[in-house]
Structure 1
Amino acid sequence: MNSGLDAGLYSWITGLAQRVPRPVDTLIQAWSDYGLAVFAVLMLIAWWRARQGDAARMATALSVPVAVVVAYAVNDVLKMVFDEQRPCQTLRAVTIEACPAPGDWSFPSNHAAIAAAAAAALLVIDRGLGHLAVPAALFMAASRVWIGVHYPHDVLIGVIVGALVARPLVRHAHRAAPAVERLRGTKLKPLLRAA
C-alpha cells in the first residue's frame, strides 16, 4: 500500500490533535482505546430485545457477534498480506498514543473493521441500535487517525471490510431459525426467549 497516498492528511490531523486542548485528546484517546466495549453492549441489547421476537430474529441477533469475529479475521488476513508499517513509524510523527512496535501492521484498521461490522450488523437486526452504532463506528475510525496509529486509508478500508463482511452474514442468519427454535425447547430457553 502506498503510504504517501494520504500522508499529508494524516500529518494535518495529527498536527491538529497536538493543538487542541488536552481534554479533547484524552476523550478521543479513551474512545479509541475502550470504545469497542460500547459495541459489545449494543450487541447484548440486540440479543435481549430479540428474546421477544421469533426464532429468525433471535438467529439474526446471535449472528451479530459471529459476523464481527469473521470480519476481524478477514481484516487480520489483509493486514498480514499488506504488511504496512504504522504511519507513526514511517513518518516519525508526534502522536497522542504511543506508536505500536514495528511489525504491528497498520493496513487495514482492525478497530475500524470491528466497529463497522458491528454497526452494519446491528442495522439489520435493530434499526434504532444501528443508528447509534453507525456514528459511533465512524468516530472510532476517525479516532484511530487522530491518535496517530493509522493512516486515513487504513480506517476507510477497515470500515469497508467490516461492513462488507458482516452485513451479508447477518442478512442470511434467519436461515438458522429452525436450529434456534429447537434450542428454545432446551435448558437454553431463558437465553433465547423471554418468559
Structure 2
Amino acid sequence: MGSHTWVASGRTTPVYPGGTVVSTVTTVPSASPVGLGKALLRLTAVLVLLAVLAWPVRTGLHHAIAGTVANSPLSGLAGFIAEDGMYVILAVAALTAVWAFLRDRAALLRLVCGGVGVVLAYLASELVKVIVREGRPCAAGDVDTVLTCPTGGDWSWPSNHSVIAAAIATACILALPRARRLVGLVGELAAVEAFSRVAAGVHYAHDVLSGLALGLVVTTATVLALVPRLTPVVARRMPGWGVKASGVPINRTH
C-alpha cells in the first residue's frame, strides 16, 4: 500500500497498513466559514446584550469616557483613530483581497460576498438612523469632546463607523477563517475603531456596540447565503477560476 499525506487538522496520526507504521497523516485546523459564521452570530448576540445594558447608563458612560479622554494626553490619538482609523482596516482588507486573488480564489469569492454584506450593512445602518433619529451625545455640550460634534441630521444610533469596521472585519475573517493572525488583527482593529468613537465623544457606548452587532450579522448572513449559491456558478462558468472547497486534501503521495 502507498503512503498518503493529507492536510486537515493540527495533529499527526500514524497509519498502520498490515500493522506497520508507513506514513503520517497531517491535518489542518477544522475552522470553516460556516463554523466561524455561527461563532460570529453568537458574538452578535453578546454585543446586542451589552448594548441593551449600556443604554440606561449611556449619559454617565459618555461623561466618564469622553470627558476623561478629552482632557488627557490620549486625546490626539483618540481623535486620529476616530477620524482615520478606518483606512487601516481598509488597507488590511485590500491586502487580504490581493493575497486571495493570487493564492486562493475560493477565499476571494467569500471576500467579494463579504463586500456585498458591507454595502448592505451600511444601507441598513443609514435606514435605522433615519427612523430612530437619536441625537448625538456631544450635542448637549455638557462635556469636553475630542471631535467637533456633527450637526445637520447626522444621527447617532447606530454608529456607521462601527458598522463598517465590523462588516469589513467580518468579510476578511470569513474569507480566511484559518488565518488566526488576520482574524485577531481585524477584530481588534474594528473594536478599537468603535471605542475611539466613544472616546472622541461623538457616540454613546450603545451606539458602537449596536453598530458592531449590525455589521457582524448582516455580513455573516450575506456570506453564508451567497457563497453556496455562487460557488458552483463560478466554477462552471469560469473553469480557470480555481474555486476549491476548504478541507480537501492538498497533497497526496503514493
Check the 8 A contact 1:97/1:147 in 2, yes or no: yes
Q: What amino acid is aligned across from residue 130 of structure 1 in structure 2? A: V
CA contact (8 A) 1:63 1:170 kept: yes
**Which residue pairs with 1:143 in the alignment?**
196
CA contact (8 A) 1:58 1:180 kept: no
CA deviations 1:53-91 (Å, max 9, x no partner) are 554322102122221111111111111111001001135
Does structure 1 conserve the Cα–Cα contact (< 8 Å) formed by 2:162 and 2:211?
yes
The C-alpha deviation readout for 1:130-189, integer Å capped at 9, x for no partner, is 22111111111100011110011111111111111111212344231244443576xxx7
- Looking at CA atoms only, which structure, 1 or 2, has the larger radius of gyration? 2
When residues 42 and 101 of structure 1 are mapped into structure 2, their CA distance, relative to the original with a 3 A threshold, is: same
Structure 2 SS opposite 1:35 = helix
Q: Distance in 2 between matches of 1:54 and 1:17?
A: 43
Does the 8 Å contact 1:96/1:148 carry over to 2?
Answer: yes
* Greater alpha carbon shift after TM alignment, 26-35 vs 122-131: 122-131
The residue number in structure 2 matching 1:134 is 187
Match of 1:79 in 2: 129
Moved more, 137-146 or 58-67: 58-67
TM-score, structure 2 normalization: 0.66
2:38 matched residue in structure 1? none
Distance 1:180-1:44 versus aligned 2 partners, 3 A rule: farther
- Higher share of residues assigned helix: 1
Unaligned runs of 5+ in 2: 1-51, 244-254
Normalised TM-score (structure 1): 0.84
Give distance in 2, aligned partners of 1:50 and 1:120.
15
> What does 1:1-195 correspond to in 2, within 5 Å?
5-21=57-73, 24-53=74-103, 55-90=105-140, 92-126=142-176, 127=179, 128-175=181-228, 176-181=230-235, 182-183=237-238
8 Å Cα contact 2:138-2:145 kept in structure 1: yes
Q: Tell me whether 42-51 or 94-103 shows the greater mean CA deviation.
A: 42-51
How far apart are 1:95 and its partner, in Å? Answer: 0.8
Helix, strand or coil: the match of 1:93?
A: coil
- 1:122: Cα distance to partner? 1.5
Pairwise CA RMSD = 2.4
Change (3 A) 1:67 1:111: same
Amino acid paired to 1:98 = T
Q: Which moved more, 1:152-161 or 1:63-72?
A: 63-72
Q: How many residues align?
A: 185
Matched letter for residue 48 of structure 1: V
Contact 1:56/1:174 (8 A) holds in 2? no
Residue identity (%): 33
Q: Distance in 2 between matches of 1:103 and 1:55?
A: 42
